[in-house]
Each structure stands twice: as C-alpha cells, then as structure tokens.
Structure 1
C-alpha cells in the first residue's frame, strides 16, 4: 500500500526516467526549423562533420541532439515519415543500452534508425538484429535509404551469402541480419585458418528487434556447428517399429514437465521386443554395454509421446521441419539434437539423416553478451524484466504510445469442452463478419488453425488461395459491395511464404485471418489495408507516369474508404482460441489491435480441455462446474478466471526461466574456455611465426615425459627407462640411448631433461632446414590450428557427455554444477597437454614434397621459393601423416539447437572429383582447394 501511495505522489521509476528525456526532446524539436532549411547536400554533410567532432574528442552523448534532429529530417524527406516525440525517447533508450518497450504499430523499425545512426558515427559498426531473413532484407532496404541519404553504408546478412559478401556487409556502417546468422558467423570465424578469411570485425553495438523472442524464447537452445557422424538410421528405424507395441502401462508420461520414461514393466517389455528383433543380444537394457540402445529407446519414446505432427513439427518434401513454438514459423534446416530429430524422421518414415558431432557452439546469451553495448526493442518485455536484468543487465523502459490506446480487452470465456468452444468462436466470427469488422483469430498450432478452418468451411466460408492472382481482389470486391465476404485466410507454417501479404490485408473490412502465434510477424495490420503492399502488387506492371499515378491515387482513396468502414465496425477484433504458455505471446496477439489510437477489441475463448487448463488447472474444476449447473454451450466469464490463468502462466514462465538459467550456468563454464581457445587461435593466426610457441610446446612435452617416467629424487634403478625411450620415439620421432644414459654415474633427472631437450631441438632444427624455414612456418601454423580444432571438438563432445550424466551426482548430495566445473577444468588442462603432444608429434614427422608448379598457377597463390634457384618460381608441399587432414566429401553442418546448413565443398563437377575445401589442391599449387581450383570452379559456375 505504501508503495502504491509513493507511486501516486512521486511517479514510478519508469515515469521518472521518461521525464528525464523531455529536455532533449525539446532541444531536438527546437532544431527542426534549422534542419528543414538545409539542402540535401548540407544535410548529408553533417555526417562528415559529426565524425570530425568525434575524432576531436566529443562523445556520442554530446552529439545526440543534433544527430537525432538530422535523422528525423532525413526520414521525413526520404520516407515521408517524421519521428514522433515518443519515438525520439525510444531512440534515446536504445542509445543508452536498454530495452524500449513500444506497442505494436508505434514504429519500432523507424526508432532504431536514430540510435543506429548515432552509434555508427564512431566507425566501429552497428548490428541491427531481426528475427528472419525477410525482415532483415526489408529493413535494410527500407531504412537503408535514410542512411544512404546521410552518406552511410548499409549491409545485410542473410542465409546463402559467401564469405566475401559477408565481409562487405560487416564492413558497412550499419549491418542488418538475423540472430542465427550473426551467431553462426562468429562461430565460423573462429574456425578459420587465416585472419583475412574472418568476416566479422568485432562486437561494438547491437540493437535487437523483437528482443524478447530472440534473447528469451530462443535462448533455450544453443547455436551449434556440427559435422556428421556414423549413420545409425537402421537402428532408429528398427526401434521405431516396436514403439507402437508399447501400452500405457509401459511408460510414465508427464506433460507438465514434458518428460516420458519407461516403467519397470515397460523396461521388461522393451527388453523382450529388442531381443525379438535382434538388437539386444546380451544382458539387460541398462548394462553399460547397452547404454547407446537406451539412448535411442528414450529418444524414440519422446518422439512418439511428446511430439505431435503439425504442432511441434510438420513433414514437408520428405523432411521433418520444426515449427517455432513462439512464432508459428517453419525453421527449415533446424534440427533437434541428441538424436531426437532422427527419431522423429523414423517415426514419420522419411529418410533418417546422420547424427551430428558438435564442432563449435555458443548460447545466444553468451553471444549477445560479447557486445560492448546491447539494446533491444519489443512490444512485450515488462513481464520478463527480471530475466533481462539478471542475464543481460538490460533495463526495460515502457515508452508511452503516441495516441491513447482505445482497445477494449474483454474477460475470457471458458467452456467445458473444445467442441463448445469451437461453436462459440464460429458464432462470434459470424456476428463480427456480418457488420464488416476485420477479424484476426489467433491459434496455438497448425492443427488448431486447420480445425477452425474446417469449421468455417462447414458454415459456407471459403478459404483464400493466395496462389491465385486475383485472390485478394475477391476480398476487396466484397468490401466495396457492403456484403459479408464469406472469405477467410489461414496464416501458419504451411503458408509461410505469403505471410506478409496475409497480415498486411487483415485490416480490410470483413477480412477474417486465422493465424498461429503472431509474435514477430514484422508487418503492421492497418485498418483498411496496406497502401504500400497494394501499390506494389497492383502497379507492378505500370511504368512511372500519369497512368500509374492515377492507379495509385485510386488505391489510396479506396483504402481510406475501407478504413472508415472498419472504424465504424469497431476496428480490428482479436479472438484468441487458447491461452499460450507465455503471457507475452497473448499480449503480442492483443497488441495487433488498437495501433496508433485506433479502436479495437480482444477476447480469448478457452475450454477446460486446453493444454494450459488441463495441465495446470484444477482437476476438480469440471466436476465443480457441472454441480453448479453449467449447461452445454454456456460459458463462465469472470475476472477471477483471468487471474487464475495468469498465475498458471507465471508458473510456466518461471519454470522456463529456470531452464534457461540452467543452460546458461553450464554454458558459462564452457564459455570461459571458449574465450581462451578463440583468443589464442586469433593470436596465433595474427603472428607471422609460431616458432617460439612451438619451442615452448616442445619444452612442455619434454617436461611431461620426464615427470611421467622419471620420479623426482628417485635412483636410476627406479626409472621407467623403456617407457621413457618409447615416449621419446612417439613424441619426437628420434631414437636416443636412454638406457646407456641411465647407467652413467651420478646421472640426474635434470641431466636427462637437458639432454632430451637438446636432442629434440636439434632434430627439429634439421627438419626445418630440410623443408625450408618459410614453408615450415606456414606448416607449423596449419598443424597447430588443425590440432587445436580437432581437440576442441573432442573436448566439446566430452563436455556434452559429462553434462548429461553429472546430474546424477546430486544423488550423492554433491552439487552437479560444481562437479561439472571441477571436471571441465581438469578436462581443459588435459586438452592443453594433448595439444602440446599432438602438435610436437606431428611436426616431428612432417615431410614437404616439392613438385614442379602447374602450367597455370592461380594469380593469388603464394609461391614458396626453395633455396636460391632463380628457375624455381614456386614449390608445392604436402603434409604427410597428418591426423587432421580434412576428409574427402567434406560437409559441415551448422545447427542451432541444431539449425543445419551445408557449406560448399569440391563437388561432383570438379575436375578433381570431390575435394574438401580445406584440403591441399590436387593441382599441386600448395594452396587450399577453396583458394585454388575450388575458387576457380566456383567463379566459373
């Protein structure tokens, strides 16, 4: 109560913060008359002047007011859009490194231009992160016109670009792209072998659009770059065939925790089935030798009992494609990890793809914490403010709307059964459609949206086929004729390609749009329709001139008429068919209505059979309602119901937050090691010579060998002379008279160390002289980097396995996280030791074979001169016996929990057959295939 009283007197912390921005807004407005008078050249010249001021020592904060005034004037001239005062405040919040919470339709895309321009003046690059390729391209072109007008460059990072295109995009002042692409580029950069191949130029400042979707919803699954492992498709298919033979008593299913496990009876039944098909040949299912079978059984069980087709995934073109539970979008290429995706492929009887082995990974939390300054914007962040602060140190600032919100949010209607709810929804749709009110109906899955579509068809409604050229014209014709259209559109993962068009026309009078989760759609629903979209479509074949101008004027006039009809009908009506686990998704759906002061209305229809009600509601509720006399097709409507649902949603959100925190705690352990490895890798790539590093490694191996075989202060009789001799041959490829040394009078441990060090140094010096110092410097770097990558991949796999089993340590009253930290530290120490050993052993055996240069050496190939021969224009070399040579038919999979894509390699059309991109070119040039004939083949194609 005291807190409420203080808030009434002094205002909330958010109110006080907003009040502090007002003087700067007034200063920007005061500059507007001056900006209007400037010519285009003078306005663009201000960018150069700002940069000179920064070079002279001014801070970005000093330039905020004039820079914002410049951007606002540029936007007015280029786009015909002038930033509102509240948008200026939003830009200031972004510049300060906080989250601007702005309602849908308040122009977040335009707001980002203010902070992006100001921070780009420093010349260190600004990244604007969006949720999909469509928005990245659209925003880079749309907002890029403002930056270009002011003399700045814009780049875009989307799927399918090569390294050269990515480097150019990152070199721009402002770079738009998706969260996945930015994260993958970071991982890929840290797998490169030369600095000039790296595409990113640091992490200075990022603005994350739909920040809650990216930093919270998608933060549960890490980004993973992985490579294929052994094909186990037969095992997946065999286990899948016996899964349907299990009965309900064989497993325990917990939908609330999303877990399923075999019971004791189920274990016995499963063992019988596995023996029957010849998979379990000896022992019980849970013996150590059968651990792999248990893993496959558990994943098959999850695939069948927890994952539903057309809800969590769909099958398209013979592939299992994951559906984003928060946005309803397809995520082509993304694959579930740990064999779950393969189990789903077996379940759906499509080709089972090989499992992947992790090569590099990072969580979104740790990737975005690389940025020196991070900001975000969304319509819904307040409910997750604690998580933003705890994980990212980001404050959430609620920005007031430009116009007062006039949307009316009604209490939920709760029905006993799903059938009653469906009938109530169709009645509501018919009533709203009869008065030409545009409708947006939100569903939680593809299955639910298609059920509703079938119910609509049964009432005589027809679904719009967007493949038809005149599909939307039928909707416009009905709106012109003042008659209910009886048409509806479905927006889900099946119709993903038409997303922007479906959303854009959802505000036409009489339009009915059924959509799965509206989060992050990126396209405004404007009452009457979207002018730009209609002009682009209907004037596409008209060239500039009077005819096109007349058509455009006609479209604008009609949309204005449509808008007046939609306003008269009460604005956009939002119907929710089910509550989502997260309040944010429900708020995002509601937020589609009532943009820029338009009227609107929203209501959710629920049933006791809905997942949220069934899993988190009371089991006694239905019986109680029957006793109270609730009749069929009657609904309960009460604010208490809303409160109860909100508490259920809060429970789910808290559980999901705990899951994300748990993921982060474990990833933080790996992140510390990742930073060390990646930093060391960059340092080594930047050095011209690793001679000193190689010497230190060799010295470390000598110390390890001595410590292992010669105990401290022990007599020679206690030394492991034979083991020492074998270790020297293995590590240094030299034979030394160790047994004779050990017989010498007064020989000490230190004497042995010095002799071995001298012999190893001399042997390596001879190898360097034989192969040529310049070539050996190059070979050293390649072998160290390849060895590090190989061992780092093995280390990640070991940490994955450790993490899967370390939870059982809790049974012994030991903290699993502390156990993980301790063992991960020991494993990292072993990695460093192994790196020394492997590198030393490889370099002690390296042979460089010189061959005549080919008739046509690519101009960019580096020539290594041998001796002083003037006729030797180049020399090719090959590293023999390398344990890390890239295999032929190389493919690399990129996965985000696992998003998957294939990197280009030497293909079937290459004159040399399939050659790995990092292998030496078969032509003998000494270059990697991708820089030699691989590059030539690519340019030729």
Structure 2
C-alpha cells in the first residue's frame, strides 16, 4: 500500500504515479549530472532553455532539470533534496497543493519547479505569507539559482515603481502575496504600457498555501486615496453606544450583519432628525450600519490595537498587526468608537481579492504543512487537487487526545503545573491559543507562579524570529496566538532530548490549525509531544448532554478524557471549521460578482492601453450616447429646451430648437423620435469627423486613448463604491428573510449596465470638449 496519502481519487493517484516515475528518472540522471563541472551545469541549463524554445515540453525537461537543481543545491547549500522533495516538486509542477510536514524542506522543494518553470523566460513568483519569510527564503535559496545562471530577487512590500521594475525582471521572485497583488492593481492604473512593471503572470508557487489561499482568499489588497468628503461617524458612534442589542438592533455574527429593528430605526431617526433610508443623505443608512458593526463585531485587542494614538488592524489569520485598511468606512467607524481623531474617508481606486489574483496565473500550485480540512476549498476555489508527501524521517511525536476540564480555573491550574513539570525536566514548551485574550490570561497565570516565558501576539510580532529562535532551548516556555510565528521552524538546541512539548488551549478555528500547532513538535524526525486542553467555560465548546452529566460526577481537577470525549471535542472543532469555511465561501461568492466585473473592465482597459480607440468604436459610442439622450427625453416645451441644452453641452450641435421640438412631439417609440435620433447622430458624427481632422490622426488617437482610460478608471472607482453600498444595503433589507446574495447580484447587474453607459457618455463628452495643447519637442528631446 502506498505510504502517500491521496486526495481526489483517481486524478490524485495518476499525479502520484507520474511524480514517482519522474523521481526515478531524476535518480537515474544524477550520476551523469554529478560528473559535470560548475560551468557544465550552467551550460546545460542554457541548452535546456533553448530546447524549450524549440518546442520541447517542460514535462520532458523535468528529470534532467531536477537532477541539475539537486546537484546545484549540494554544491551551494550542502543539501541534497530527498526523493520525497523531488516528488513534492514534481507535484507542484503539475499544479497540486502538496502537503509536507514541518521541517521536511518545503523551501528547498520549491527550487525544483522554480528552476524548471524559469526555463520559459516568463518568470516565476514564489508567494508566501509575509516579507520576513520571503526575504529569508530568497536569501537562503538564492545561491542555487545564481549558481545555475538564473536570477533571483526579493520583492519587498515597500519601494518605488522604479525600484520594483528590475525585481520583476528576475527569473524567480520571492514576495508576500499581497505585494504582487498591489503591483497588479497599480499596473492597471497606468496610462502607458511602458509604465507596467509586472511581466506576464505565468507561474505561482504558494508557500503556506492554507494561509494564503484559504484563510486570506477573501483578503482585499486595495489602492485608495483620501476623500474630501466629511462624515458624522463620531455622532453615530455615540448613538450606537446608547442602543441595546435585541431591542434596537439584531446581530447575526455568523453572517456579520447588524440590522436595526423597527423600534430601533424609529429611535435613530428621532435622534438624528432625519430619515435613514429615504432622506436626502443617501449614505446615512450605510454609516448607521457601520457604527453598529463597529460596536458589535469588532473588539479591541482582538481585531485591532491602538498604537501611538492610531488604530491598527490585526490580521485574523496570522494575528499580526498590519498597515492595511478594513475599508468601506469601517476604519472611520472604529476610530469614532474608540474616541480617536477620525481619519479622512478613503476612495477606492482599485481592489482585487487574493483568490482572484492567484487565479490570473497560468500555472498555480501550493505547499503547506497540513491539507486536511481544506481539500474541498482547494478544489472549489482553485480547481487544485492535493497530494500528501510522507516525511523523510518517521514522525516520533506523541499526540495525546484532547481532554476537557470543568472550568477555566481548573484548566489553567493544570496547564501551569504541566508546563512547570516539563520545564523542570528541561523540555521546551509551546502553548498555542485561539485569541490574544486567552494568551494574556495564560501569561498572567504563568507569571503568578513565577514561570518566565515569551509571548508572541499581534502586539510584538516584530520580535517574531527572535522569540521563535529561543523557543527550542531547554526549559523555554513560549505562548503564541493562533499561528503567529508560522513558517519559522523551532529548532531544538538539544535534538536528542525529549523534544518540544506543544499544548493547545481551547478550540482553534479549524482542525487544520490544530494539526499545524501539533506539527510544531517532532519536526524532521525529532521527538516531541502534543496535547490539547479544553474548558467547559469556553462558549465555543458545545458538548452533548451526557458530557455535562460526566462533569457533575468528576472531581475538581480530573480531566474528562477518553475516546467518547475525544470524539465530542473533535465534533466541536469540525463544527467551528465548517462555520469558518462557510463564511469564507460566502465572502468569495460576493467577491466573484465584483471580480467578474473587474475582469471585464481590466480587459477593456488593457485593450485601450494597447490599441487605443478606433474610429469605428468612436462612431459607435457617439451613436449610442446620442440615441440614449433622445430616447430618454420627455415630451413637452420644457423638455425640448432641456434636451437641446444637454446635446449642445455634449458636442457642438448645429441643430435648432424646431428640430428638437418636432422630434419630441411623439413618444420614445414614435417615428418622429426615431427621425430626431437619426438627425442628432448624423450631426454628432459630422462634428466628430471634424474634430479628428482638426487634431490630426496621431493627436486624435492619443487623446481618445487617454480619455477612454480616464473614463474607465473614474467609472470603475464609482462602481466599487456602489457595489459596496449595494452589499450593505441588501444585507440590511434581507435580515428578516430572503436571499441577500440574489438581491446583491441583481443590484450589481443593474449597476454595471449603468457603469458602461456612463463610460460611453464620459468618453463622448471628453472627446468633444477636452482642450488639447500640443507642445513641440525641444532639441534635447528630438
């Protein structure tokens, strides 16, 4: 029976068989490759590039390329990739999510498909969770690439466009996923192709795949700027503080919706002296909802911290403090809730979720320490199968079943005593929690007993590498929140000792995260031990009634343990994990509507950037806009003047009032109206031809290209805000029933139709009315 775990049935089996076959071929090529000189290895890579240009497939080049990379790793790093790493690298090449346990060498594994895909000359992006890991891996693996004549670079989060352009020219680029996504967005705001810095999105290999591809799939890298608008967030925060949940508003934490009741809405409108939904302030309902969401759904030190008088967001997956915005006005609502100076509201210029960005790559693969629990997500979100590669060395970690204690006090007492015993025996201990509050509670309990320890939370993540480096010392005690410190191995200073003891406190958001935490012990064949403590006081621990009866008969510090308890607690974890998966899927459903529109907008923008706006398209848009104006006009003397004024504002019309009056004598489908539309279109097309003749073909083409880009960008920015408002609006209106997603999709369809009409109207208006000044080139520019 295969020692590989398979996910996905027959397709996974076929993937595994191919990868094992390739591993055998790599081994057969190893002796010949080992005999080559350093220069010979580089020359072989050059020949492999040429063979690919001549039409040879990457699959056929894999055995020789992998053998060369393996030898390069030996000569530069002193490390020979194991057969398991070769198999993992082959699975990455085929587009799988590959499970390799902590300490099994995922970083080195990625160099194998990285070098293979670099043969195409299209560039390879290796994406990971943060800048620290990306910089570390680029520095660590860089010698392998450079030894073979390939270039390797690190893409930092910050830096000017001029500094980032040459980085993208490297064969292999390491960076945080969000950094690549931000540059993609910026590239779609330029007005000339020469300003684009990313090359084609060919190959992406995602490290820490479960974090980047699942937990952060809905994360929204966003480019925005301060808006000139002002708001009343402070007043609304004061109002929200006076309202009572269940009386004035209802809270649906699963769907993250807070909705005023009829009684609450009446009170809100009375206090504000304005109608929330039908008044003149169209954004008031949205801001009221933001104040309530800030109050009920966001907690200080859990979702955000205040640093030097400024609110900073905590990433829910990594528990790191970030510089990003929540967006949609929530940042301002939270400022007001905390009594801070409310920052200017921001206008979104461009946005894309991580899931959609990753979907732009021609080739996509991922690697992670645990795939269990997320197999369906990889398949449904990315159409990727999963393969688990066995460890090179057998796992020697002892995993204990979770145990349940009657309350928090008992659990903490047992936790402190257990950790103290491990410390006295010289064993390092790692305690993992689901929240910063629990971490603080555990830290206080340890301090009360005089047990020194390190704490890794969102508040001190800058010390992450240093803290993790100390965590493997004999007797060291480290407390971390969720998966803070992931990607950084805990190396034991005494590998032959009893190993790291990992203790999880309370349920983590998923079974996957539980396995990740357990996997911090026993890396690379080390000894280790893991356990989980639960408390009946934890609101997330909902156990069957028979467990409550056991609780009544148990002694103070006796744990409730055994297979029955283990199954019950596993059910708790599965329920939490299912709820989190459902939430992520819901977020992506809504995002998919926006992303479909974004893809169409960016495709149009790219076409304009490359090809401009042809005379035929110009005429079509002029005709479309003129017909729209004429058909939308009403009959009547006053409407005749309105239509004439609107047409003459749009372009230099030569038509008189009598022409408009005759055309508006009938309804929109009348013959008179159709004849008027034809007359207006002919007149406008003649004016457009005259405009093009006056400007000359080159100036006219460049003007149309630029004004179309401006029209697209402005309308898309408005559309993003409209979609956000539509999402909030349907959530509020359908709290009591109905399907908010269906309502949102209908609203989005209406909005996008309106957007394309506005783009056409803006283009035509700019085309006729923008003043053009062409300056001659200086002698120095010629």
Q: TM-score, normalization: structure 2? A: 0.90
Bigger CA drift: 806-815 or 134-143?
806-815
Whether the aligned pair in 1 keeps the contact of 2:251 and 2:259 (CA below 8 Å) is yes
* 1:411 maps to which of 392, 401, 404: 401
Q: In the alignment, which residue of structure 1 is the partner of 2:387? A: 397
Quote the offset at 1:249 in angstroms.
Answer: 6.2
Which residue of structure 2 lines up, in the alignment, with residue 453 of structure 1?
443
Correspondence 1:326-345 to 2 at 5 A: 326-331=317-322, 333-345=323-335
SS at 1:128's partner residue? strand
Cα distance per residue 1:306-339 (max 9 Å; x no partner): 33322222111222222222222112x2222333
| Aligned CA distance change for structure 1 residues 15 and 96 (closer, same or farther; 3 Å) | closer
Classify 1:718/1:248 alpha carbon distance in 2 versus 1 (closer, same or farther; 3 Å): closer
* Among 303, 307, 310, the residue aligned to 1:316: 307
Secondary structure, counterpart of 2:487 in structure 1: coil
Residue in structure 2 matched with residue 906 of structure 1 by the alignment: none
Matched, 1:165 2:163: yes
Partner deviation per Cα, 1:115-174 (whole Å, 9 max, x = no partner): 111111111111111100111111112112111111111232221121122221222211
Q: Which residue of 1 aligns with 2:491?
A: 526
Deviation at 1:197, TM superposition (A): 0.8
Deviation at 1:492, TM superposition (A): 1.6
Deviation at 1:590, TM superposition (A): 0.6
Match in the other structure for 1:777: 701
Q: Cα distance 1:433–1:749, how it changes in 2: closer, same or farther (>3 A)?
A: closer
Choose which of 594, 598, 608 in structure 2 pairs with 1:670.
Answer: 594
Unaligned runs of 5+ in 1: 463-487, 529-561, 712-716, 851-862, 866-871, 876-924, 926-941
Q: Distance in 2 between matches of 1:707 and 1:322?
A: 50
Deviation of 1:391 after TM superposition, in Å, equals: 1.8
Instruction: Check the 8 A contact 1:73/1:82 in 2, yes or no.
Output: yes
- 1:809/1:815 contact within 8 Å kept: no
Look up the match of 2:463.
498
Are the counterparts in 2 of residues 125 and 204 from structure 1 also a CA contact under 8 Å?
Answer: yes
User: 1:479 maps to what in 2?
Assistant: none
Structure 1: distance between partners of 2:119 and 2:674 = 60
Partner Cα separation in structure 2 for residue 743 and residue 35 of structure 1:
87
Q: Contact between 1:413 and 1:604, CA under 8 Å: does it hold in 2?
A: yes
Query: 2:627: which partner in 1?
Result: 703
> Deviation at 1:289?
5.4
Aligned to 1:789: 713
- Correspondent of 1:175 among 145, 148, 173: 173
Matches of 1:400 and 1:680, distance apart in 2? 47
- 8 A contact 1:226–1:356 mirrored in 2: yes
Instruction: Give 1:690-729 correspondences, 5 Å limit.
Output: 690-708=614-632, 722-729=641-648
Q: What RMSD, in angstroms, separates the aligned Cα atoms of the two structures?
A: 3.3
Deviates more, 1:650-659 or 1:368-377: 650-659
Segment of structure 1 superposing worse, 721-730 or 307-316 = 721-730
* Matches of 1:57 and 1:223, distance apart in 2: 37
Q: Which residue number in structure 2 is paired with residue 379 of structure 1?
A: 369
Distance 1:598 1:288, change over 3 A: same
Contact 2:403–2:566, Cα closer than 8 Å, also in 1: no
1:137 correspondence with 2:135: yes
Aligned-partner Cα distance in 1 for 2:268–2:638: 54
1:281 aligns with 2:279: no
Distance 1:335 1:692 in 2: 43
Return 5+ residue gaps in structure 2 as ranges. 664-670
2:434 to 441, 444, 447: 444
Deviations 1:367-403 (A, max 9, x none): 2111112100001112110121122110010111101
Q: Which residue of 2 aligns with 1:638?
A: 562
Is the 1:155–1:169 Cα contact (8 Å) retained in structure 2?
A: yes
Which residue of structure 1 lines up, in the alignment, with residue 540 of structure 2? Answer: 612
In the alignment, the residues of structure 1 paired with residue 298 and residue 743 of structure 2 have an alpha-carbon distance, to the nearest angstrom, of: 32
Aligned to 1:857: none
- 2:204 and 2:364 in contact (8 A); partners too: yes
Cα gap change, 1:241 to 1:741, in 2 (>3 Å): closer
Query: For the structure 1 residues 246 and 842, does the alpha-carbon distance in structure 2 shift closer, same or farther, using more than 3 Å as the test?
Result: closer
The residue that corresponds to 2:666 in the other structure is none
Q: Could you say what secondary structure the match of 2:540 adopts?
A: helix
Q: Which residue of 2 aligns with 1:731?
A: 650
Give 1:287 deviation, angstroms. 5.8
Q: Is the 8 A contact 1:129 1:177 kept in 2?
A: yes
CA distance in 2, matches of 1:833, 1:271: 35
* Contact 2:349-2:717 at 8 Å conserved across structures: yes
Corresponding residue number in structure 1 for 2:32: 34
The reply to whether residue 84 of structure 1 matches residue 82 of structure 2 is yes
Deviation at 1:223, TM superposition (A): 3.0
The aligned runs of 1:414-813 (5 Å cut-off) are 414-462=404-452, 488-518=453-483, 521-528=486-493, 562-564=494-496, 567=497, 570-613=498-541, 616-617=542-543, 624-628=549-553, 630-687=554-611, 690-708=614-632, 722-737=641-656, 739=658, 752=676, 755-768=679-692, 770=694, 773-806=697-730
Are the structure 2 counterparts of residues 726 and 621 from structure 1 closer, same or farther at C-alpha, using a change threshold of 3 Å? farther
In the alignment, the residues of structure 1 paired with residue 331 and residue 629 of structure 2 have an alpha-carbon distance, to the nearest angstrom, of: 45
**Structure 2 partner of 1:99:** 97
Q: Quote the Cα distance in structure 1 between the aligned partners of 2:780 and 2:624.
A: 35
Moved more, 663-672 or 387-396: 663-672
Following the alignment from structure 2 to structure 1, what is the Cα–Cα distance between the partners of residues 280 and 633? 34
Query: C-alpha deviations, 1:493-536, integer Å up to 9, x for none?
Result: 222112112112311211111111236622111111xxxxxxxx
3-state DSSP of counterpart to 1:563: coil
Mapped partners of 1:271, 1:419: distance in 2: 46
8 Å CA contact 2:98–2:386 kept in 1: the answer is yes
CA shift in 2, pair 1:19/1:58, >3 Å: closer
- Aligned equivalent of 1:207, options 202, 205, 208: 205
Distance 1:683 1:289, change over 3 A: closer
Are 1:838 and 2:762 matched, yes or no?
yes
Q: Secondary structure at the match of 1:327?
A: coil
1:297 to 1:825, Cα distance in 2 relative to 1, 3 A: closer
Contact 1:210/1:520 (<8 A) preserved: no
* SS of structure 1 residue aligned to 2:474: coil
Cα drift, residue 436 of structure 1: 0.3
Given that 2:255 and 2:583 are in contact with CA atoms closer than 8 Å, whether structure 1 keeps it comes out as: no
Quick check: 1:97–1:374 contact (8 Å CA) kept in 2? yes
CA distance, structure 2, for counterparts of residue 727 and residue 751 of structure 1: 18
Residue 196 (structure 2) aligns with: 198
Q: CA deviation at 1:753?
A: 5.0
CA contact (8 A) 1:389 1:395 kept: yes
The equivalent residue for 1:885 is none
Larger radius of gyration: 1
Structure 1 residue 455, shift from structure 2 partner: 2.2
Tell me if structure 2 keeps the 8 A contact 1:791–1:835: yes
2-structure distance, mates of 1:847, 1:19: 66
Q: CA deviation at 1:706?
A: 4.5
Partners of 2:495 and 2:422 in 1: how far apart? 16
Change (3 A) 1:654 1:248: closer
Per the TM alignment, residue 59 of structure 1 is displaced from its structure 2 partner at its CA by 0.4
Structure 1 position 722, deviation (Å): 4.3
- In structure 2, do the counterparts of structure 1 residues 676 and 301 end up closer, same or farther at CA, with 3 Å as the change threshold? closer
8 Å CA contact retained: 1:508, 1:527: yes
Alpha-carbon deviation of 1:247? Answer: 5.4
SS in 1 for 2:534: strand
**Structure 2: how far apart are the matches of 1:427 and 1:262?**
48
Instruction: Tell me, yes or no, if structure 1 residue 359 matches structure 2 residue 349.
Output: yes
Q: Structure 1's 221 and 52: CA in aligned 2 closer, same or farther, altered over 3 A?
A: closer
Measured in 1, the distance between the counterparts of 2:188 and 2:137 equals 28
CA distance in structure 2 between the partners assigned to 1:255 and 1:723 by the alignment = 50
Give the deviation of 1:107 after TM superposition: 0.5
